Structures are given as structure tokens and as C-alpha cells.
Chain A
Amino acid sequence: MDVSDILAAHAAKQKAVTVEKDIPLQVDAGFLTVTDLNPVDAESYSANLEDYLISTARDGVQALIGALFSLPTTPSPDGPLARLPTPTTQLPRAKPLPKPKPPTKWEQFAKAKGIQHSKKEKKVWDEEKQDWVDRWGWKGANKQLESQWLTEVPANADINHDPSKVARDERKARITKNEKQRLGNLARAQGTSSSAAPAPLAERKKELDRTLAVTRKSTASMGKFDRTLEGEKKPKGIKRKFDPAEVSATKETSHNLAILSKLDKEPVTKKAKKSSADGPPGGDNVLNVRKAIRSASKGKGSAALARDGAKGKGKKGRR
């Protein structure tokens, strides 16, 4: 059996759909892009531009189509869908990566304890109705205790004991608690995202108390005739504190020595600081220049002193 004809026919068919280039074409099937890195042939480029462009483009597209048609496909009503690989070209994102949602307090706890999340069904089986009912919501199973016609009452119950009201109150309390926890989780998530961490509770309380104390005194009568609210405490004044009368001997001596050492020094006043800054640096200056000028010019200043000196000389010259 001679298969050379068949092989030749197959090769001819293959030839029509294969592209031979010096540098193989780079195909990025994920982005449907092909890059032809062969240098541009200047001769055929200048001979006929459009023909050259269309022929290079055809070669490139043929290679790309070849790569796309050899990808694994999945059938669909509109024809075969080629499953594309991930793109090899890296393009910049338009927006930053989404931040992971901060875990709720329960999620943190569950993670620490290794508790796994188990999904609760929304419907539960009601034996009485012989039907599936919602766990919560309209005619939810969580309202069964409130709506049942007969309820067991404990022996020591109050006369006004209303079992359905008790159940309802409990349910409402659970809802408010859950809402509070939800808001807490939201606030915590906000806190972690912003740079400024909220102040600790004790600090905030202190600040509030201080503000309250100030506002209570900030009336015309310094708060004397203000109506006091029920449960309001009398504002505390500042208590003076004294050192204990009896201290150890070493403490007393050190205390006294500290006083003595202060007495030995010049008192640090504003003026003294200023004059030391004016004087020449390094070494304590004996002459206080400003004071000397003041006394020499009889309080008129350095300018007057200079003028007087000049006048005296001029008179001498004239004579």
C-alpha cells in the first residue's frame, strides 16, 4: 500500500495553514494577540506598503488562529467555545486589588477556636403543619412560642405573667443585640482601615467627665442654681495634697540640699537670658554693654551718644 500520496496531500494541506518565519511568532492566546519579532523587510516595505502590511498581518493572524483552534473547546449553542489560557502579557490593572473583608469578631473567635462554619438551612420542618417553614421572618419558626395557644407557666409565676410577651421580648432583645454587634463589627472594620485608632475607653470616659464638669460650671451662677438631674453626682473639687509630715532622713536631706543648691545660683530670669545671648559667646561677661550705654548716654541710647561725640569734634575743628 502506497501512502505517499496521502502524506503529500496532508502536507500540502498543512502548508496552507502553517507559517514559517525566521523568528517564531509569539502568540498570547489569552489576549488574542500575536507579536511578529522578525525585522521589517525594507525592500518590500518600500515597494508596496499596503501589500506588505496585509501579508505580514495575514501570516501573524494565521499563526494566532492556528493556536486558537488547537485549544480545548467546549460545545455551546453558538458553536464551539475555545477555553483560553491565562494571558502571558502583563497589563497594568485599572484599580487596586480588592481589599479582603476584615473578619467579624465571631469569625476571629471561630478561627482561634477552630470552629468551622456550617451553613444553616433557611427552612425547618414543622411537625404540626407537616410542612417546611422559614426559620425566621414572616410566619417564621422563631415566633412559635409567641403564637402557640397553650404555654406552660412556671408555678411561681407572677399574676400578670404573659408568656407570649416574655417570648416576644426575648426575641426582640436578641435582634437588638445582633444589630449592636453588627454595628460594632462595622465600626471595627472602619477603625482598622483608617490610620487613626480610636482612643481607649477609659481615656474617652475621662475626657467626657472633664467636659461635663466644665459645662456644669459654665453658667452665670457658676452652676449654683442649676436644676440637678436625678442620679447626678456632686462635682468633685480638687483635693489638696500634702507631703507626709514624717519622712525618712535621707529623703529629707536630699530635699533640703536641692533647695540649697538652688539658692546658690543666680535666678534664671528672662532678662538674664537675653543679656547672655547679646554678649560675646564663651566666658561670663563682666560688662553689661546695654547697661553701660544707657548710663553713659543718660538713657538716650547709642545713637545719641554717637551724635554727641561727632558734634564735639566738629566744634573743635572749626576753632
Chain B
Amino acid sequence: MLRTVKPKNARSKRAMQAREPKEVEDPRTAIFVKGTHTGEKVNVVMKEMMALKRPNAISFAKKNVVRPFDDASSLEFWAQKNDASLFVVGQSTKKRPDGMTFVRMYDNRVLDMCEVGVENWQSMAEFKTPKSTPGNKPLMHFASELFDTHPRFIQLKSMLMDFFNGEVIDSICLSGLEHVISVSLAPTPSSLNSAGAADALGAGTSSDAQSELKSLPKAHVRVYTIRMLASGTRIPRVELTPMGPSLDLALRRHTDADGEMWKQAMRRPKLRKQEVESGLGKKRKNLEVDEMGDLRGRIHVVKQDLGKLQTRKMKGLKGARMDAAAGEESDVSMDDEADSQRRKRRKGD
């Protein structure tokens, strides 16, 4: 553990305040760590992933003896030291060649991990096409029904979304959308279809784990630049051009998040009044956008009191002085009458 220090000057105080937990979080910083041996492939893949992740990326140039699935203490130390909450650990061994481990942290502790093996890849330089601006926010595209059903792929989707696109923003410049990161899966094998999945769940033994991993479809990660063409409507027509890098990933080991820690990490701040009013938190009532794209509202008006309606003023209707003279007695008698009537009604009931 690092010492908790008291800031001695305003600059260090500001730096410490920037690291304190916030209600709306900054984008996650990723640290790219090389393990004891990384092949050429993993080196370049990590470099290109870093190019996509910039400026929220830190590269560790030296090799490190780090095995995230066995001992996460050094990851925790680095996370605290660098104020980073994502890791990509590259490691190539005989048993698991060209592996990359995505590690997500919560409160400087490991939340969950997912290891992928890089199988085929093409670098950015191989595509002689225009590239996106570094630091630009990408769109994300996921294609397969497994991203909604299979726990491994739900985790992968969540991890990649957190990696590239995890920042909550309130507005975006539409002309600045430049590239998309697309993650598609290979066709779903029959063992993972709804009937086969039930069998797999029933026989959840360790010997099956290897074959189960083999049966998981590959993930194809592609990066495309977007060209928007005029279509005559407000929405432009989209064309994609491959930009690179393109990776084919195979899922390997993983650890799920600890239940309690996950619950803590999924806590949401209460929405502020201003946000609720602007319609972010709740659904706005009585408002709808019709087919023409116009915002239409429904208004409920209370029943109008016609007794207070101002009609034409005439001298003859100004009975104020006359009422004041004769009104006293008549008022009293009227009240009495009304009272007696009410009493009668009550008796009748």
C-alpha cells in the first residue's frame, strides 16, 4: 500500500483531488504491460490497440514478471500508482501462445479478467486507407446473439465497451464521428444454441472446460472508418472502409467479478434535479415525437371557473352599495336556510 499523504501545496492538492472518486467518472486509463515473454505479434497488436486507446493509455516498456491469474498484487500497485483502472497484459507461452489479458479494476482491486489469444491479425499499416484522428471517440458495433446470452461474451462486450467507449458524455459532435470498432463472432456452434446450452450447463465439469473453450466461436475485431454520404434525408448514408488493425481473437481463461464487489461497482449516483428536469433520468411525461419529427406535448387544463369570468361592466350591475345596506340580514337568513336543508338531508341518509 502507498502512504496516504496530505498535500503540501495547492498543485499537489489539485492533483490529488483529480484522483478522488467522482460522480461522473473520467475515461478509464489503460496500462499496457508486457509479460515475461511477448512475441512480435503481441507486441505490435498491443502497440496498435494503444494507438486506438490514446491518450488514455500508458505503456510499460520493460518486461514484467506478472501472472494476473495467479497473483494480482503488482497490478493493484500499478493501478494505484498510475491512477489506471484497465490493464492489457501481453504474454506468450508455449501453452498459451500470443495471449492478451484484459483486466478491469474497481477501487484499485481486480474486478474481472478475460484472456484472449490473438490468432490472425493485420496491422494498420497494411491497409492503405485514411485513418481516424487519434483520441477520437469510436462507435462500437457488436454482432452475434451470444452477446446477449452467453456469460463469456457478455463479459467480453462489457470489457471492450469499457476499454474503448466507457466514458459517459452528454453530447457529441455528429460530424466528428470517424471510425467504428466492430466485434463480430463466428457462427454460433450447435452446442451453444439454446438446446445445447442447457446440456453444457448440466455437465459443468473441469474436463469439459477445455472442450468448451474450443467450442466458443472466435471474435473478429475490425476497425473501419466511416464515410457519410448525402442521402437526401436528414440521416446520411454510411459507407465503411477498413482502417485496421483487424484481429481474430479466441477466448481463453477468465475470472468473473466477485459478487459483492460487482454490486458495489454497479452502484449509480442519484440523479441531480437539473438532470431529471432535462429529461435524462426519467421519462418525460406527456411529450412525444411524432412521425414528422416534431415534438408534441399534451397539456391538461384545469376546469375553468366561469363564476369569475369578467363580463361586460355596466353601471346597473354595480350593486356593491345596495348590497352593503340590505345584504346583512338577507345573508344570515339565507345561511340558516342552507344549514337546515343540509341537516334534513343528513337525516334522510
Instruction: Tell me which residues across on chain A come within 8 A of B240, comparing CB atoms.
Output: 54, 57-58, 61
Q: Is the CB of B281 within 8 A of A86?
A: yes
Q: With A40-B184, A62-B237, A92-B257 in contact, is A57–B165 under 8 Å at CB? A: no
Instruction: Tell me which residues across on chain A come within 8 A of B52, comparing CB atoms.
Output: none
Name which residue of chain B comes closest to A14, CB basis. Answer: B233
How many A-B pairs fall under 8 Å by CB?
Answer: 201
Q: Is the CB of A91 within 8 A of B162?
A: yes
Could you say which of A17, A34, A65, A93 contacts B142, with CB atoms under 8 Å apart? A34
Which residues from 66 to 90 on chain A have a C-beta closer than 8 Å to any C-beta of chain B?
A: 66, 68-70, 73-74, 76, 78-87, 89-90
Scoring B174, B186, B220 by chain A CB atoms within 10 A of each residue's CB, the highest score goes to B174
**Interface residues contributed by chain A, number (CB under 8 Å):** 58
**Interface residues contributed by chain B, number (CB under 8 Å):** 73
Instruction: Report if B315 contacts A (CB, 8 A).
Output: no
Instruction: Report if B21 contacts A (CB, 8 A).
Output: yes
Minimum CB–CB distance from A75 to chain B (whole Å) comes to 11
Name the segment of B60-68, B88-96, B223-231, B318-326 touching the other chain: B223-231
Minimum CB–CB distance from B327 to chain A (whole Å) comes to 44
Which residues from 242 to 276 on chain B have a C-beta closer than 8 Å to any C-beta of chain A?
A: 242, 257, 262, 264-267, 269
Could you say which of B107, B141, B262, B281 contacts A57, with CB atoms under 8 Å apart? B141
Instruction: Report if A210 contacts B (CB, 8 A).
Output: no
Q: Is the CB of B235 within 8 A of A17?
A: yes
Minimum CB–CB distance from B125 to chain A (whole Å) comes to 17
Instruction: Give A64 to B180 CA distance when docked, in angstroms.
Output: 11
Minimum CB–CB distance from B251 to chain A (whole Å) comes to 16
Chain B 103-128, CB within 8 Å of chain A: the 1/0 string?
A: 01111000100000000000000000
Q: Is the CB of A95 within 8 A of B143?
A: no
Name the segment of A25-33, A103-111, A197-205 touching the other chain: A25-33
Instruction: Tell me which residues across on chain B come within 8 A of A61, comparing CB atoms.
Output: 139, 141, 180, 182, 224, 226, 238, 240
Instruction: Report if A166 contacts B (CB, 8 A).
Output: no
Could you say which of A42, A57, A96 contacts B184, with CB atoms under 8 Å apart? A57
Instruction: Give A79 to B177 CA distance when docked, in angstroms.
Output: 12
Q: With A61-B226, A69-B234 in contact, is A92–B172 under 8 Å at CB? A: no
Scoring B148, B171, B184, B238 by chain A CB atoms within 10 A of each residue's CB, the highest score goes to B238
Instruction: Report if B23 contacts A (CB, 8 A).
Output: yes
Q: Is the CB of B147 within 8 A of A34?
A: no
Which residues from 119 to 165 on chain B have a C-beta closer than 8 Å to any C-beta of chain A?
A: 137-145, 147-148, 157-158, 161-162, 165
Instruction: Report if A137 contacts B (CB, 8 A).
Output: no
Instruction: Tell me which residues across on chain B come within 8 A of A73, comparing CB atoms.
Output: 174
Q: Is the CB of B141 within 8 A of A83?
A: no
Instruction: Report if A112 contacts B (CB, 8 A).
Output: no
Instruction: Report if B173 contacts A (CB, 8 A).
Output: yes
Instruction: Tell me which residues across on chain B come within 8 A of A93, comparing CB atoms.
Output: 25, 106, 265-267
Minimum CB–CB distance from B101 to chain A (whole Å) comes to 17
Instruction: Tell me which residues across on chain A come within 8 A of B262, comparing CB atoms.
Output: 92
What would be 5 A-B contacts, judged by CB atoms less than 8 Å apart?
Answer: A31-B165, A33-B139, A41-B187, A86-B168, A94-B85
